[in-house]
A and B are shown apart, each in its own frame.
Chain A
Amino acid sequence: MIFGRSERGKPPVEPVTLKILVAGGFGVGKTTLVGAVSEIRPLRTEELLTEAGRPVDDLSGVEAKHTTTVAMDFGRISLREDLVLYLFGTPGQERFWFMWDELSEGALGAVVLADTRRLQDCFAAVDYFERRAIPFLVGVNCFEGAPRYPVEDVRRALDLDDHVPLLLCDARDRESVKEVLIGVVEHAMRQAARHREALTT
């Protein structure tokens, strides 16, 4: 790794990059969460569904696909000059899930953001990460005016495995979002340790 500032004549720092995904239903606060910790205003990147390289099956159910774009909002946290964490909000609609495969490849982990008023909106995301063994935690975004339920009730309603962490959070609050992200990384470390154990025994 090269250290030092990117002055003229000196090679610029080439950082190690990592990504965490932020999933959940439409309007649950994914971009708000990204914006709460990102050092840049969340940026938007788009993908056209016309890419010829995509298997046709991936486009099933997509009408008017010649004009369809999938937008993803993302933010950036420079932890060190040579270590940068990116947060990607996943496209909410299920028909864009082929994008999730690309996003989740090599991801450190994921946050599934839930709203207790529409808990069913995050079932699909929970299912997706469980099946792919991607470390994830559930963050229950505590909207003002939304009923508060005991953590155990939410956990039961989502039918979460015991090892999946569930946190109450406020997607607008930087400290709260930091705790959520730290929770994801710690969970990823535990999952990796379990995986190594399973391999050696």
Chain B
Amino acid sequence: MSADGQGRSHWFDDEAGPVVRPYAMTRGRTTSAVQHRLDLIAVVVTEPDADDPETDPTLAPEHVEIVELCRRTPQTVAELSAELDLPVGVVRVLVGDLVDSEFVHVNRPVPPAELPDESILRDVINGLRAL
């Protein structure tokens, strides 16, 4: 591809990033059935009666980490991405797996245009004033 890569002994360099690509964790999948629900501020909540994820052989360590993180405090997709240092797209696939296997559920954010009334926006204003 680039001419300056030809003289090097390795086909990769620092710019290539980690040699194991993030999507290896998702076994190459870039979508999942629930993906359309996963906004960056969608909240992932571990099901209270979920089994111990460590004992499930189908789950990757990253799956287990998501289940544990969201058990203590529900986390948004953006927070999981930052916390696990994984691209958002990878987190979406992993969360999709966990929804399918009923370890977690996801709360989709309500678009402001669909809010039943203005009271939440007033609460936001009052909350900001009180900061």
* A contact residues vs B (CB 8 Å cutoff): 6, 11-19, 37, 43-48, 50-53, 64, 67, 69, 72, 74, 76-77, 79-80, 83, 85-86, 88, 102-103, 105-109, 174, 178, 181-182, 185-186, 188-189, 192, 195
> Contact: A79 with B124, CB < 8 Å?
yes
Q: State in angstroms the CA–CA spacing of A11 and B40 once bound together.
A: 23
Q: State in angstroms the CA–CA spacing of A16 and B30 once bound together.
A: 27
Residues of A within 8 A of B124 (CB): 18, 79, 83, 85, 108, 185
Residues of B within 8 A of A178 (CB): 128-129, 131
Residues of B within 8 A of A45 (CB): 40, 78, 81-82, 88
> Contact: A182 with B129, CB < 8 Å?
yes
> Contact: A18 with B41, CB < 8 Å?
yes
B92 to chain A, nearest CB (A): 9
Known: A18-B109, A53-B30, A106-B109. A44 touches B82 (CB 8 A): yes
Size bracket of the B interface: 35 or more
Residues of B within 8 A of A88 (CB): 40, 78
> Contact: A67 with B15, CB < 8 Å?
yes
Q: Choose among A12, A69, A85 the residue that contacts B74 (Cβ–Cβ < 8 A).
A: A12
Q: State in angstroms the CA–CA spacing of A196 and B123 once bound together.
A: 20
Q: Choose among B1, B76, B87 the residue that contacts A86 (Cβ–Cβ < 8 A).
A: B76
Q: State in angstroms the CA–CA spacing of A12 and B35 once bound together.
A: 23
B86 to chain A, nearest CB (A): 8
- Other than the known A88-B78, A103-B40, what 14 A-B pairs have Cβ atoms closer than 8 Å? A11-B48, A12-B45, A13-B74, A16-B109, A16-B110, A19-B40, A43-B78, A45-B40, A46-B81, A48-B23, A77-B131, A80-B127, A186-B125, A188-B121
- Chain A, interface SS category: mixed
Residues of B within 8 A of A106 (CB): 39, 41, 109-112
A77 to chain B, nearest CB (A): 7
Known: A45-B81, A46-B87. A108 touches B112 (CB 8 A): yes
- Which chain B residues in 3-54 approach chain A with CB under 8 Å? 15-17, 22-23, 30-31, 35, 39-43, 45, 48
Residues of A within 8 A of B15 (CB): 67
Residues of A within 8 A of B110 (CB): 16, 106
Q: Choose among A12, A74, A83 the residue that contacts B123 (Cβ–Cβ < 8 A).
A: A83
Q: State in angstroms the CA–CA spacing of A82 and B88 once bound together.
A: 24
12 CB-based A-B contacts, threshold 8 Å: A13-B74, A16-B110, A43-B78, A52-B31, A72-B78, A88-B40, A103-B40, A106-B41, A174-B131, A181-B128, A192-B121, A195-B113
Q: State in angstroms the CA–CA spacing of A50 and B113 once bound together.
A: 32
Q: State in angstroms the CA–CA spacing of A192 and B111 once bound together.
A: 12
Residues of A within 8 A of B87 (CB): 46-48, 69
- Which chain B residues in 95-127 approach chain A with CB under 8 Å? 107, 109-113, 118, 120-125, 127
